[in-house]
Structure 1
């Protein structure tokens, strides 16, 4: 017997009468606006295999759920459940395939360091709780674990090379307190699609080897302490849509060769130690699909690269197709959010998901000089252009084109260090007619 009641605005508590459905194998109460604790009769459902209680306001110690000995899928994310994870070392629910405890915030303590009992796990999501301590090797040593989400906790220690032996498709360890270097072998996980190590304290030279034929679509190493140059092996990531290396200590010239990645849509090199001019390229179609490029707060110098702007083909298109919203690298959206931080006027604004229509160029806080090329006027899909805090002298000849899509373009640049009066702030609006 299966009972599906997802997205029913039931309100109140789970009915105790559900406890009489002892032959029930699946119960789906996703997003039903339920609250309170789990009624005691519900623990009589000893045949339950799939239990979905996510996106409610329920509360209860999480250890009670493992009274269900036949459980294969347990989804209780986005609630107020509490407790610790010591039950993970118990010899119960040995058939468990999916475990989702994300976004509870009240789950505390460490992940058990003794032998992990669930060798059937395919998906584990424990993100946005209050977990601490290291990631145990026994926890990582799952033969068929494909999706691992542990971000937004307070996990510490190092990322061991043990993790490279897995068949992972998603590794999300962002926003923790992990230290040490990034294992060289991470780029050799053959089917890995998302690699998110952002917002930790990882350090050392970034020299991970990304193997030929990999399937990586998202790489996020931003907000760490990484040094050195941008690894040339990134060029092997033919399916890469998002590369975020912002807020590190990388010291390199502009990696123009990244423009040869055919699907790259978001490139963030903000707040590093990049330097030198961005030379005009003789190669066509570099960065043809780019929608967001942030090179701000570095040491780039010289003229703005006209040929680079000419290649931004995706920025020359306006609007959403048929009114439907599309997002950049929107993989596994039930579990993973490909967020991006935009800095403006010293404030950080976070997009939880990045629309393909969020067209942004940020070259602020560098040492660019000369005129702003009129070719920028061809980028009619542009939403935000920030050229502030450089040594620019304004447009040679403006040809900004209005749009019928209600776009808002903000163009900001500072007064040049010359006697010639220049624009200090310009707002361009193209409103629906």
Structure 2
């Protein structure tokens, strides 16, 4: 007991050695919910901006605003569609103003954020009411009450508006069904019910609106399917139905809408197979059907959809291989087939996607090597191939110059590039932080630390004991 401090120091040293033996390096790739696999905000590039919304089934799907589901609206009626409003108040059909006043009364008008004129008792002056636009001869042609705290159920009186072209009720708290008489306003071109609390089914009468170009009703609780009567919407350019409770088979009726460019039916409850008639939608530029219950193989019918630039089919139970016709879509910018059960290889035909910016194939059962053609996709910014069974040698190629986000682990690569390549920031191996590169670095560092500690610890013990004795 002559040297209690030195004995205490010896005991602490020995305990540190025991604890160090039990410490193991962690594997950052071990968790399938790795938040690092989230993409950056994408930039919008389309005038038909989508309703891309949060998908409860996805874990690593980007949300390009050309998306998939943050959202900006498709254009409302253009200047050429809407007659020039009069600069002076016009006398209006009293029946029209009365019908508008019923909207005010039924939706708690006194609590609207802006209600200028709407509380008037003059039923010939509604051209001067807040956001009511009229033609030069006093016809009500546009009403925009978006984001104005409308609460309650709209009256079913749309048959009173023979000249109405554009109506916008988005971002309010409307409840109940979409009024069935909305199909009785024959000149409607744009209808917007986005982000309300609407329920019930879609009115079949809308199919009679032969001039309709855009219809929005995303983020509601609408049920049922898309009525077959809507096949008459031959001028429809955009259908936005994301985030509802629509159900039944894939709505085959949309394939008869020959002018349709943007179709958003994501995050609903559609089930069954994709129809072969999908190949008839030659005007389609965006198809977003992610987050439904679709299954079976993806039909090989995309060769006709030469205008397609965005395809989102993630979060389903699709099986089989990726159709070769998808690789022929030379205008494709966004492709998301993640979170399915797809198998087979990634075809070298992927090199045809020369405009692709976002390529999402993660969480499937794809195998085989990563084709070298991916390295030649000069516009590629976001690549997700992780959680597959890809194997062989990881490519030694230089990464696409625009690539900013790449996820390729875990997979089953047996051969890694030479360290001189793997450590080169310009290569895909470096950009994608592949398994073998990351793990070998961590294990080597841990091994070196443990070896050094094990070598010098006995010397410390001997010196300490000699001092004590």
TM-score range, shorter chain: 0.5 to 0.7
Q: Which stretches in structure 1 are left out of the alignment for 5+ residues? A: 4-10, 31-44, 316-358, 395-412, 424-433
Shift of 1:169: 0.5
1:83 corresponds, among 163, 173, 176, to: 176
| Separation of aligned partners in 1, 2:369 and 2:294 | 29
8 A contact 1:260–1:286 mirrored in 2: no
Alignment of 1:14-413 (within 5 A): 14-16=115-117, 19=120, 20=122, 22=125, 24=127, 28=131, 47-63=139-155, 66=158, 67-85=160-178, 87-89=179-181, 92-104=184-196, 106-113=197-204, 116-166=207-257, 167-212=259-304, 214-279=306-371, 281=372, 286-307=376-397, 310-315=398-403, 359-369=404-414, 370-371=416-417, 373-374=421-422, 376-378=424-426, 385=432, 387=434, 390=435, 392=436, 394=437, 413=438
The answer as to whether partners of 1:151 and 1:175 remain within 8 angstroms in 2 is yes
- Is the Cα–Cα contact under 8 Å of residues 120 and 144 in structure 1 kept in the other structure? yes
* Aligned residues of 2:115 and 2:130 also touching (Cα < 8 A): no
Who is 1:333 aligned against?
none
Residue deviations 1:312-355 (CA, integer Å, cap 9, x gap): 1223xxxxxxxxxxxxxxxxxxxxxxxxxxxxxxxxxxxxxxxx
User: How many angstroms does 1:57 deviate by?
Assistant: 2.6
TM-score (norm 2): 0.63
Question: Any unmatched runs of 5+ in structure 2?
Answer: 1-84, 88-111, 449-469
Q: CA RMSD in A?
A: 3.4
Q: Cα gap change, 1:98/1:91 in structure 2, threshold over 3 Å: closer, same or farther?
A: closer
Deviation at 1:69, TM superposition (A): 3.7
Mapped to 1, the partners of 2:245 and 2:424 lie a distance apart of 43
Contact 1:300/1:368, CA 8 A, preserved across alignment: yes
* Residues 204 and 226 in structure 1, CA contact (< 8 A), matched pair in contact too: yes
In 2: Cα distance, 1:251 partner to 1:179 partner: 21
SS of residue matched to 1:151: coil
Regions of 4+ moved over 6 Å: 416-420
Q: Tell me, what secondary structure is at the counterpart of 2:253? A: helix
Task: Give 1:385 shift.
Answer: 4.7
Tell me which of the two structures has the higher relative contact order, counting C-alpha pairs closer than 8 angstroms and 6 or more residues apart.
Answer: 2
Cα distance change, pair 376–227 in 1 and its aligned pair in 2 (3 A): farther
Q: Contact 2:242–2:265 at 8 Å: present in 1 too?
A: yes
The SS at the match of 1:234 is: helix
Query: 1:206 and 1:22, CA in 2 relative to 1: closer, same or farther beyond 3 A?
Result: same
CA distance 1:68–1:376, shift in 2 (3 Å): farther
Equivalences, count: 331
